[in-house]
Amino acid sequence: MDNNILKKKLSTYLSPKGQLRNLGDDMLFEVVTAWENWSGTSAEFYRSIGFSKQQLASLLGKAKKLKREGRFGAGEFKAVAIEGSLPVSGGDTGPCAGAEVVWTNGRVIRFSQIDLLLDFLKKSA
């Protein structure tokens, strides 16, 4: 969504004192989605929608909490393109024969089967 549209929508919720009041869950979802998709600094985000940090801080906090609790649903599905494939036992290659996890410190863990990756993730959680 364009931040100018979000700015206009948010301006309808301004109180006479300049506070944002009575935003519904759908509006909070739009704010947190715009925030998460923003690639610049937070100050630039606040300027782009015409509000200060003080006006949006509590709204963003509330929206993030609602998102963690699952109130907004799963959101839209984002497909992931996998280039190449790993050999499966028998020498064939399949579209999803294995997985590779790259840690922040540069270490790599390769799983020959997705089931092994799922077991690893369940045990590490």
Domain ranges within the chain, ordered by starting residue = 3-68, 81-125
Beta bridge partners of 109: 101
Which tokens in the block code for residue 71? 């109130």
Beta bridge partners of 110: 100
Q: What is the reported pLDDT for 20? A: 84
- Angstrom distances, CA of residue 120 to CA of 14, 94, 98, 102, 117: 48, 21, 13, 14, 5
The Cα–Cα gap between 87 and 94 comes to: 7
Q: What is the reported pLDDT for 81? A: 63
Q: What is the reported pLDDT for 22? A: 87
Q: What is the reported pLDDT for 82? A: 59
